[in-house]
Amino acid sequence: MTTEDLARVEARKPSVRPNNPRFSSGPCAKPPAFALEKLSGAPLGRSHRAAVGKDRLKAAIDGTRAVLNIPGDYRIGIVPASDTGAVEMAMWTMLGERRCEMLAWESFGAGWVTDAVKQLKLDAEVKTAEYGEIVDLSTVDTDNDVVFTWNGTTSGVRVPHGDWIKADRAGLTICDATSAAFAQDLPWDKLDVTTFSWQKVLGGEAAHGMIVLSPRAVERLESYTPAWPLPKIFRLTKGGKLIEGIFKGETINTPSMLAVEDYLLALDWAQSVGGLAGLMDRADANAGVIADFCAENDWIANLAEDPATRSNTSVCLKFTDPGITDGAAFAKAVAKRLEAEGVAYDIGAYRDAPPGLRIWCGGTVETSDIQALMPWIEWTYHAERAAL
């Protein structure tokens, strides 16, 4: 670019920056109400098995049930190793009893497929779709066990509804809902195992996973013993009976009480914005700003082909300008410039996904910040285009 070109680009720079440039898809932005001092009541240096610790863990379980409207007869447990730990725990304890379908349309789902096929060595039926698309859910037989991701964080493609899951199914549905829970309506009657982590939609800390079990999942755990050995951190039963304590806050191993306190703060904030309905509205409004922006600009588009499958949390975008020859280099340069300007952190597409941007729209992100970001994306696109 010539000096004049540079001057012209600088002159068009937007004047308003997002207040919070944190648009990462995990760990996600802390709730607007967050302040470190608010965690000072955490029972640090105390045993998590003492009443004070157990009460906080139980409050985390009860608060989760309240915000997510989880049925009273579903068990909710806090387990090790974040969402990954919770998904692995479900697969290793429950799969193998019957035929299994593994569905994937992005990187994390693909990881669960690998574990089922290569580690557990299950003769699973694998159904995959390219980034931006979704598996034909009408082909899924829920008399088989089914493992799937509700919201594909790395493609921004989500399951539109649970109609494809039979009410009277014989199999279990095992759903990684980590970037959907607290932003999308999860049909609990259709989900037997649901997992998520605190670091995603509520902007909590990465450490622990949540596992939600339907009565049918508990039945499976109590009636089926897998052929493979189970490490202690996956074990949910003892002597063929569910370890009920896990679902009252008696965690399998030691949790971080600081992370628990942080999650409780996030749950309180969630209630203050109207609970699940309020969280969904916030995410919808955020994603709506980006949808409008894409509709107004012919050089950028949502990676998700079908509008019904477009995520309202991990919104993935691609540059569609045919003049861009090296898409990966272009998207990287845009993300880098936005970060250097202090306008948006961590919005490059996931490493295994097609090149582009990924903007987190979960409820902890303020709509005014997404609005402020859009002119910056436009400016950066033109600046990088001019530099080609």
Ligand X SMILES: Cc1ncc(COP(=O)(O)O)c(C=O)c1O
Q: To the nearest whole angstrom, how small is the minimum distance from the Cβ of residue 202 to ligand X?
A: 12
Residue with Cβ nearer ligand X (153 or 173): 153
CB atoms within 10 A of CB 341: 15
The nearer residue to ligand X, 176 or 384, going by C-beta atoms, is: 176
Q: Could you give the angle at which helices 82-94 and 215-223 cross, rounded to 10 degrees?
A: 60
| 126 dihedral zone (left: phi>0; alpha: psi -120 to 50; beta) | beta
- State the nearest-atom distance from the C-beta of 197 to ligand X, in Å: 4
Q: Please, which residue, 9 or 78, has the CB nearer to ligand X?
A: 78
Q: Are the CB atoms for 367 and 374 separated by under 8 Å?
A: no
Q: Which is nearer to ligand X, 43 or 356 (CB)?
A: 356
Q: How far is the CB of 289 from ligand X (least distance, A)?
A: 22
Closer to ligand X by Cβ: residue 176 or 192: 176
Comparing CB distances to ligand X, the nearer of 84 and 364 is: 84
State the nearest-atom distance from the C-beta of 37 to ligand X, in Å: 26
The DSSP string of 351-366 is TTSPSSEEEE-STTS-
State the SS3 of 114-164: HHHHHHCCCCCEEEECCCCCCCCHHHCCCCCEEEEECEECCCCEECCCCCC
Quote the CA–CA distance of 113 and 289 in Å, as a whole number. Answer: 34
Q: Which residues pair with 310 in a beta bridge?
A: 157
Cβ distance to ligand X smaller for residue 142 or 195: 195
Least gap, CB of 176 to ligand X (angstroms): 5
Q: Parallel, antiparallel, or unpaired: how do β-strands 173-176 and 145-149 relate?
A: parallel
State the nearest-atom distance from the C-beta of 60 to ligand X, in Å: 16
Closest separation in Å from C-beta 297 to ligand X:
27
Q: Which residues bind ligand X (CB under 6 A)?
A: 26, 82-84, 108, 149, 153, 176, 178-179, 197, 199, 206
Q: Which is nearer to ligand X, 101 or 106 (CB)?
A: 106
3-state SS class at 70? coil
Structure-token pair, residue 99: 């035929």
What is the rounded CA–CA span in Å between residue 17 and residue 30? 18
Tell me how far, at minimum, the Cβ of 195 lies from ligand X, in Å.
8
Q: Nearest Cα to 20, choosing from 372, 335, 286? A: 372
Cβ pair 76, 61 in contact under 8 A: yes
Amino acid in position 209: G
Q: Which residue, 115 or 261, is less far from ligand X as judged by CB?
A: 115
Task: Kindly state the DSSP code that residue 194 receives in the 8-state scheme.
Answer: E
**Cα gap 69→320, rounded to integer Å:** 40
Q: Which lies closer to ligand X via its Cβ, residue 354 or residue 375?
A: 354
Contact in structure between 350 and 154 (CB atoms under 8 Å):
yes
Structure tokens given for 363: 């409820």
How does strand 75-80 pair with strand 208-213?
antiparallel
Work out how close the CB of 182 gets to ligand X at its nearest, in angstroms, rounded to a whole number. Answer: 13
C-alpha span between 386 and 323 (Å, rounded):
11
Spatial separation of the C-alpha atoms in residues 25 and 178, rounded to whole Å: 11
Quote the tokens at residue 281. Answer: 């509205």
What is the smallest separation between the CB atom of 132 and ligand X, expressed in angstroms? 16
